[in-house]
Amino acid sequence: MSFLKYNEKVNKIYLKNLDLSEEDNIIRQEIFRQGAIGFSLDEKKERYMELNAMVEGINRDLSLEAMTDKISETAFRLIGRRKGNCILYLADDRTQKISIVKTKKEDPGLVIKAKEGDIFDTWVSRHASPLLVEDIKKDFRFDLGKIDAQPAIGSLISAPFISAHRFLGILRLEHPQPGFYSLDDLRFLSTICDTGAVALENSQLFQRTQELAIHDELTGLYTKGYFMERLKEELKRSQRQGRVFSLLMLDIDLFKKYNDKFGHTAGDMVLRALSANTSGFLGQTSPVVCRFGGEEFCAILPGIDKEGACRVAEDLRRKIEEIKINLRRQESAVTVSIGVSGFPEDAQDAEVLIIKADRAMYEAKQEGRNKVFCAK
């Protein structure tokens, strides 16, 4: 065999080996791709099963606390792999400003500075669109000088909660490492937020319904029914912890004259003014204040004994006496009679405490009104 023919044969074998190597590489890539697809499908199946579990959990408890915890926990576990941070913001209905209501963190001791969001959250709310930042340092859309991140953020994904074109909040995941999140992660986060938006709206409606059920429509104070529940709770807590509390019973003096002289609208103005001033003055005592019925009001003062409550009641009486209300262009004054009872000094039963405070208030009226009497 000539040297030339030998070289031709060697070259053919070499080219054949190259072809075989290329086929081998293609087969290996296909095997790897098929394996990756299988893993991806399994992962997606698990994610959507967990999403279904999230929805079932939300439907069992419509409270805002439980619902936001379930949503953020699902995102942090399935997408974040419990790494980095997950932050859930809710928007104020009136101002549309966002604030943090729930966080999940790899480092429990970490303090997140952006309580009202940052430039990334502004982008999401403004565009009403999901956001993927694979590498913050290379993303031309954002000015790094305006980022005050703690710890340093390498990558993040974020999606809005939107229901019926109404912006409700943002769910965001962040990690120090660039490229930590994928486009699939962003799609799944968007799905969580689409589902969560409906749950959020339902939760907010439920919360408003609950608030309407426990608040007096005219004054905004608690209703008598809710107040009685809180009084019984305070009684049990105080018995368990060995602490004191007091009860105030207030009644507007000669309230009927406002309705007779100026009409029921004027009477409503008096009730609203008294409610606002009572709540405002007693605010420092962490009270539970209710409209007990008609022109009567009740207040629980936790941690204050009867002697201290009597001083508070006297200061409140003077404060109310100074109030001037314009009723049909006439400046009118309002006074109240107040009765005070204390736990455990006067009673260890909710009903008896109310009866004793009511009797003391009646004595104040009998003695000329605009007075404070303590239970004997």
Q: Write out the catalytic residue numbers.
A: 295
Which among 190, 128, 127, 126 is positioned nearest to 157, based on CA atoms?
A: 190
Confirm if 156 and 165 have CB atoms less than 8 A apart. Answer: no
- CA–CA gap between residue 330 and residue 83 (Å, rounded): 66
Question: Does residue 178 have a cis peptide bond before it, meaning omega lies within 30 degrees of 0?
Answer: no
- State the DSSP string of 229-268: HHHHHHHHHHHHHT--EEEEEEEETTHHHHHHHH-HHHHH
Secondary element (H or E) of residue 306: helix 306-321
Q: Among 207, 127, 131, 109, which Cα is nearest to 167's?
A: 127
What are the residues whose beta carbons fall under 8 Å from the beta carbon of 132, sequence distance 6 or more?
156, 157, 181, 183, 185, 186
The b/e string for 122-161 (b: 16+ C-beta within 10 A; e otherwise) is ebbbeeeebbbbbebeeeeebeeeeeebeeebbbbbbbbb
